Amino acid sequence: MIEEFATRVVADVKRLGIVMEPDGSPLEIEGVLNPALTRGRNNELLMYARVVARGNTSRVGLARGVESNGKVEFERLGFALEPEADYELRSVPGGMGCEDPRVTFVPVLDKYVMTYTAFGPEGPRIALALSEDGYKWTRLGRVKFVGELMPVGDDKDAVFFPEPVISPSGIKSLAFYHRPMLHISSVDGHAAIPTILEMDPEDRECIRIAYIPLEAALKDPLNLLTATESVKVLIPDGHWGRIKNGGGTPPVRTPKGWLSLFHGVDAVEHEGRITLCYSAGLVLHDLDQPHRILYRSPEPVLSPDTIEERTGIVNNVVFPTGIDARGNGVYDVYYGAADAKVARARFNVEIESV
């Protein structure tokens, strides 16, 4: 489907290279990837990479960036989260832990909110943690969705908007992306490709926005765990990202809307077999009602191209999860490269009316 928008987003993209890779220790042997990113209270650059030990056991790292002459190096400070809660621990093969964090500072709460995938006995679920300073984190628990026709089961790619918005039913709310999963893709993503492509795009995995009433969240932070609305916003019916799409970086405010990078997944032929390819695009949401999409990339703005993006733990993956606004439409985007390393790219973005 070719969509026509009254707004166009143009991005000039420059890769800035790898900023973190496994250090050779047992805790990082299966990759350092998909980092959350934020600025601390003193404007220090903080990164929270997913750190994977043997057996696909994931932790959320904590690192501080040192910037000099346009370059950035990250000093490891330990872990923000390690698998401890019962919903992060599994005894069967296949992995466990705290995966793919995103961090958003929410001024109305005066707290940093971390969303992450808790991979426990029931499978992947969205979990939250809060921090006053970006260094010490306290778990809240897993998110639940209440109400009729709300999604249930495996869910990933949660990312909070930084400011209150208006939900589809007209309630002032805090909002977050999420991606409920199909059972067939959670069992075997590659084997499910032909079946998924035969499905109606409306039924494929895609970005939704969930809403938490602001009044309840301000009364008790535990109410952040209760979403009362959820709506599909980015159906995978375009020229790319046809298998599925999911939330990427936290949205950033621009004069014309909330800007974010998301990932889209396609089936490609590689060495005689069909495999998956993860690329990234831009999406612009209405500032008041983010379920209104003002623009989405008709083609990827970042696709696997370098050796680090094409070859790793999972080949052909760019997975944007962190963003640092530099001012004047310039953003540094941090992303997982081939599920093995953390890379950075600089986006010069212009938003135009057409």
Q: What is the CATH number of the domain that holds 58?
A: 2.115.10.20
Segments of 240-272 assigned E as strands: 244-247, 252-254, 257-270
How many domains does the chain fold into?
1
Q: What does the pLDDT look like over 32-57, one tens digit per residue? A: 999 999 999 999 999 999 999 999 99
24, with CB counted inside 10 A (0-12, 13-18, 19+), is exposed
Per-residue pLDDT band for 152 (boundaries 50, 70, 90) equals: very high
What are 320's strand-pairing partners? 335
Is residue 2 situated within a structural domain? no
Enumerate the H helices of the chain as residue ranges.
183-187, 193-198, 214-219, 307-310
How many other C-beta atoms can be found within 10 angstroms of the C-beta atom of residue 262? 26
Q: Return the pLDDT at 280.
A: 98
pTM value?
A: 0.96
Is residue 330 situated within a structural domain? yes
Q: Return the pLDDT at 166.
A: 98
Q: Return the pLDDT at 183.
A: 78
Chain mean pLDDT for the chain: 95
Q: What does the pLDDT look like over 14-35, one tens digit per residue? A: 999 999 999 999 999 999 999 9
Q: Return the pLDDT at 3.
A: 73
Query: What pairing do the DSSP bridges indicate for beta strands 96-106 and 57-68?
Result: parallel
Q: Is the pLDDT of residue 215 over 60?
A: yes
Is residue 253 situated within a structural domain? yes
How many other C-beta atoms can be found within 10 angstroms of the C-beta atom of residue 203? 11
Per-residue pLDDT averaged across 297-312, rounded? 97
How many other C-beta atoms can be found within 10 angstroms of the C-beta atom of residue 149? 6
Q: Return the pLDDT at 177.
A: 98
Q: What does the pLDDT look like over 154-191, one tens digit per residue? A: 999 999 999 999 999 999 999 999 999 997 765 555 67
Per-residue pLDDT band for 296 (boundaries 50, 70, 90) equals: very high
Q: What does the pLDDT look like over 79-138, one tens digit per residue? A: 999 999 999 999 998 999 999 999 999 999 999 999 999 999 999 999 999 999 999 999
| DSSP sequence for 297-348 | -SS-SB-S-SHHHHSSSSSSBEEEEEEEEEETTEEEEEEEETTTEEEEEEEE
Answer whether 302's CB lies under 8 Å from 320's CB. yes
Is residue 31 situated within a structural domain? yes
Answer whether 245's CB lies under 8 Å from 236's CB. yes
Per-residue pLDDT band for 268 (boundaries 50, 70, 90) equals: confident
Tokens at residue 256, please?
Answer: 């014309």
Q: Return the pLDDT at 251.
A: 98
Is residue 245 situated within a structural domain? yes
Residues above pLDDT 90, as percent of the chain: 89
Q: Return the pLDDT at 151.
A: 92
The boundaries of the domain holding residue 184 are 7-353
Is residue 1 situated within a structural domain? no
